[in-house]
Amino acid sequence: MTRFWHLVTRDLRLALRQGSDATIAVMFFVLCVVLFPFGVGPEPNILARIAAGVIWVAALLASLLSLERLFQTDHEDGSLELMALSGLPLELVVLAKTVAHWLVTGLPLLVAAPLLAVLLNMDRGGFGALLLTLALGTPALSLIGGIGAALTLGARRGGVLISLLILPLYIPVLIFGAGAIDAAITGLSPRPHLLILAALLAGALPLAPVASAAALRQALE
């Protein structure tokens, strides 16, 4: 586990040193949400109705931006081969890099979401559900996205391929994430949606690193 956390901190240091991935993801998230009132009009009732879906779609798209670089940089400089030979199971290497990816891209989205919810006139009753759904959903997005990043490693236009492969798998997270917020706003219990999101995360946590590691082994051969 010491080597696992060393790998997490290494990726965090590299990401913070470069700063581009986190900044681009957050700026895209903010700009995408901010543009919606210009497109649909400033009517508060309309904005409040679409707020949950807008925030979740923007978060989903923002999480895609840096997935191509999840393994690509380490693959190009040879670090990925060294990690595979280090004695640490490749599944744990994948999980460590996914944790670092979420801390750099998913966590800032979680912090920025309440401010954007205020901008979209979201009912205060949905704020708690918004934070809970993002806390459960964005790690699942990173885990599932890691599979696409591993499958497209070394491919030309990998970003486009990742989107085609991963977006259909993101749909359940999007549906239940936005559904939980809408349920909370309308006075219904968001618990069923949150439980399904938690189940998706619980399923992705052990399965996604295994699938990603298998794809990486194929790419490294």
Instruction: Give per-residue pLDDT as tens, 135-164.
Output: 999 999 999 999 988 888 876 666 678 888
pLDDT score recorded for residue 78: 79
pLDDT score recorded for residue 209: 93
Quickly list DSSP for the chain: -HHHHHHHHHHHHHHHHH-HHHHHHHHHHHHHHHHHHHHH-S-HHHHHHHHHHHHHHHHHHHHHTTTTHHHHHHHHHTHHHHHHTSSS-HHHHHHHHHHHHIIIIIHHHHHHHHHHHHHTT--GGGHHHHHHHHHHHHHHHHHHHHHHHHHTTT-TTHHHHHHHHHHHHHHHHHHHHHHHHHHHHTTS--HHHHHHHHHHHHHHHHHHHHHHHHHHHHHH-
pLDDT score recorded for residue 208: 93
Domain of residue 152, residue span: 2-220
pLDDT score recorded for residue 158: 62
pLDDT score recorded for residue 157: 67
The parts of the chain modelled with pLDDT lower than 70 are 19-21, 155-159
pLDDT score recorded for residue 169: 92
pLDDT score recorded for residue 184: 93
Instruction: State the total domains in the chain.
Output: 1
